[in-house]
A and B are shown apart, each in its own frame.
Chain A
């Protein structure tokens, strides 16, 4: 069984019972800056999105750049205010919090950014960097803070005797470990991981992903993982939310989304993931979207994906009605008038992160299923 099937969230219902974060009908509109301040220039970055996150769960937000993944996480962290909707942390609204309450909440939600070359101050030692959140929140005295920094650095695999070095002395993977230490030093419950391995080498990605999963299990962390690479989501996430232009188009468990994607956009995303096997790559069917992804004028009505959709471009239903996110099977929702119609042809299956492992002792992941078809 893969991690997703036996993972901490076996059942969506149990996840709801122990819900940590709930996002309800959140919309974020960035007002246009045209001289006339007309509504035409408004950008709807999030359009009525709802999802929840269970304690101990990893939820991946997946989509292209511009799909609203980062805006969603910024609203959740209250770095920006949503235009409408509700966000609850442990059942309590976080939108109306007074500054002092918000300050206390921030201890419990932390973030790891994409680029560890930009997110660490080059003039601070890593001890100062990791200690800073403790100082900001006035926790402990100097010697207690020192001990905590040492402890957390060891936890992420940075030798504590290197604590007085500056970021430049560390490689990309080590810097990302330091950024993770800084996020964890306050003992948060929710950690937002914004493309945590995208800036790293393939060989280092595995180390950092292993560390994140290990820390999740040891510390009972809940992750909101923003990622565009579905092979990373396949490894790390229990559930996946697929976003397209500010809307949720498909939500489901990782195995459902990867084995039986229902939305054509999800199928396109899956087909775009490079396959690390030349034989499979040559056989697999790649669906390319037209390049002008954001030449979207005139998509006010109907399905927002229809102009790029391989199956809905010409259909009147898709032109006239906007599909609503509806539950199609347990733990799997999709916003499409023709769910499941587009799939990759038989024998040319979607393969994510295919592997060379000749003894697939890892149950049925997509990769093995794809490789198995020619056996």
Chain B
């Protein structure tokens, strides 16, 4: 039971040194390059990064959904103390939907256009239990009500095209909830929606986490969403977790220069003639990663440091006001000390 897990210290999901690669004609793309990730029961965790940083590849790797030419090369994926990798299809089918559910970005393509909404939610229910169609339809109505679809009894027989984008995403969440998973991984669940629907969906996910004790991993590039939704944040760059930290600590005192740069580039009002900050350069090609810190060429601090160009960045770990912090940066210790000196308040 999820609420029991949330009280214990051992994580619900523990990923260690996970590596995922894709073989392409232009070389091997190292999409996930040794990721460690801990998710505790009932926790709301964010994974932030630009497109191509490996966020989605990480999520798919955890559920064994990487198809050739991609494969999980090494590592450990431990769910409630049981190892998932190397994958066993039968075990995975028990896990998928029942213990970990996935909500995709685009509810327009994730639903089958020629099946009724009720059938699709029912299918999720029936895949993990021997439930009759009639019983599944009834449960589907209950789930639809829970995710805030009014007149569910009437709408259960509608088709996806009769629903708006926000309502379809609610259906996807109902499908995810069908088997009472311990963990929902939501991959950019609101990117295809407008701001009002986005606020509603995030509110719904918050409620689910609070009422059912379901842990939620939210994958997004939007720092605004992370700030309002997550307890703990992992920042991903070039297939690595480059910083993780409690959400308040991350926004108040970003340790990694990449995190700081991301925070500075949020659109906002600026003075006449002034531009928004944008990170110079572009993310590295994951098929041609050389030595050194992958962010170094774009980094204000490390651009001209031979150490950053030639050696893998040092791992820095410390305890902050709000909880443990990790950053993969040669200057992390220095930057963190600076913050400690100034005390809590504003970053420098």
Contact residues of A with B, CB < 8 Å?
Answer: 1-4, 6-7, 64-66, 171-173, 197, 201-207, 209-210, 213-214, 228-232, 234-235, 268-269, 271-282, 286, 288-289, 291-295, 352-358, 361-363, 365-367
Residue among B221, B222, B227, B347 facing the most chain A CB atoms (10 A cut-off): B227
Contact residues of B with A, CB < 8 Å?
Answer: 50-52, 148-150, 164-167, 170, 194-200, 202-203, 221-228, 247-248, 251-252, 261-279, 282, 346-348
Cβ 8 A contact of B269, one of A171, A214, A367: A367
A209-B267, A228-B194 known; A203 vs B50 contact (CB < 8 Å): yes
Closest 6 CB pairs of A and B: A274-B224, A365-B269, A353-B268, A281-B228, A358-B346, A272-B199
Bound CA–CA A7/B267 (angstroms): 18
Bound CA–CA A358/B166 (angstroms): 36
Contact A202 B262 (CB under 8 A): yes
Contact B195 A354 (CB under 8 A): no
A64-B194, A273-B195 known; A201 vs B269 contact (CB < 8 Å): no
Instruction: Please give the distance in Å from A341's CB to the nearest CB on chain B.
Output: 20
Cβ 8 A contact of A272, one of B164, B167, B195, B270: B195
Bound CA–CA A312/B167 (angstroms): 24
Contact A2 B269 (CB under 8 A): yes
Contact B263 A228 (CB under 8 A): no
Contact B197 A206 (CB under 8 A): no
Chain A minimum-CB-distance residue to B274 = A362
Instruction: Please give the distance in Å from B24's CB to the nearest CB on chain A.
Output: 13
Instruction: Please give the distance in Å from A215's CB to the nearest CB on chain B.
Output: 12
Contact B196 A64 (CB under 8 A): yes
Instruction: Please give the distance in Å from B186's CB to the nearest CB on chain A.
Output: 15
Chain A minimum-CB-distance residue to B275 = A210
Q: Which residues of B contact A363 (CB under 8 A)?
A: 269, 271
Bound CA–CA A357/B261 (angstroms): 11
Instruction: Please give the distance in Å from A86's CB to the nearest CB on chain B.
Output: 30
Contact A65 B278 (CB under 8 A): no
Bound CA–CA A65/B190 (angstroms): 14
Contact B227 A235 (CB under 8 A): no
Instruction: Please give the distance in Å from B261's CB to the nearest CB on chain A.
Output: 8
Contact A202 B269 (CB under 8 A): no
Bound CA–CA A198/B262 (angstroms): 17
A207-B278, A355-B266, A362-B274 known; A277 vs B51 contact (CB < 8 Å): no
Instruction: Please give the distance in Å from B291's CB to the nearest CB on chain A.
Output: 24
Instruction: Please give the distance in Å from A171's CB to the nearest CB on chain B.
Output: 6
Chain A minimum-CB-distance residue to B195 = A272
Contact B268 A354 (CB under 8 A): yes
Q: Which residues of B contact A6 (CB under 8 A)?
A: 272
Instruction: Please give the distance in Å from A279's CB to the nearest CB on chain B.
Output: 7
Contact B203 A274 (CB under 8 A): no
Bound CA–CA A4/B269 (angstroms): 9
Q: Which residues of B contact A275 (CB under 8 A)?
A: 224, 227-228
A201-B221, A206-B267, A275-B227 known; A291 vs B150 contact (CB < 8 Å): yes
Contact A2 B271 (CB under 8 A): yes
Residue among B149, B167, B269, B277 facing the most chain A CB atoms (10 A cut-off): B269
Bound CA–CA A207/B270 (angstroms): 14
Contact B149 A291 (CB under 8 A): yes
Chain B minimum-CB-distance residue to A291 = B148
Task: List, sorted by A's number, 16 A–B pairs whose CB atoms are closer than 8 Å.
Answer: A202-B223, A203-B265, A210-B276, A214-B275, A234-B269, A269-B195, A274-B198, A276-B263, A278-B248, A279-B252, A281-B224, A291-B167, A356-B251, A356-B347, A362-B271, A365-B269
Q: Which residues of A contact B261 (CB under 8 A)?
A: 203
Instruction: Please give the distance in Å from B82's CB to the nearest CB on chain A.
Output: 33
Cβ 8 A contact of B282, one of A171, A230, A231, A354: A171
Chain A minimum-CB-distance residue to B231 = A278
Contact A276 B271 (CB under 8 A): no
A65-B194, A202-B223, A269-B196 known; A294 vs B268 contact (CB < 8 Å): no
A203-B50, A272-B198, A272-B199 known; A278 vs B268 contact (CB < 8 Å): no
Bound CA–CA A353/B202 (angstroms): 17
Q: Which residues of B contact A269 (CB under 8 A)?
A: 195-196
Instruction: Please give the distance in Å from A285's CB to the nearest CB on chain B.
Output: 12
Contact A1 B272 (CB under 8 A): yes
Bound CA–CA A361/B228 (angstroms): 25
Q: Which residues of A contact B52 (CB under 8 A)?
A: 171
Chain A minimum-CB-distance residue to B251 = A278
Instruction: Please give the distance in Å from B44's CB to the nearest CB on chain A.
Output: 12
Bound CA–CA A363/B273 (angstroms): 13
Residue among B221, B223, B266 facing the most chain A CB atoms (10 A cut-off): B266
Contact A206 B265 (CB under 8 A): yes
Bound CA–CA A2/B274 (angstroms): 9
Instruction: Please give the distance in Å from B172's CB to the nearest CB on chain A.
Output: 14
Instruction: Please give the distance in Å from B28's CB to the nearest CB on chain A.
Output: 19
Q: Which residues of A contact B198 (CB under 8 A)?
A: 272, 274
Contact A231 B268 (CB under 8 A): yes
A171-B282, A291-B167, A293-B164 known; A274 vs B272 contact (CB < 8 Å): no
Q: Which residues of B contact A213 (CB under 8 A)?
A: 275
Contact B247 A278 (CB under 8 A): yes
Contact A365 B199 (CB under 8 A): no
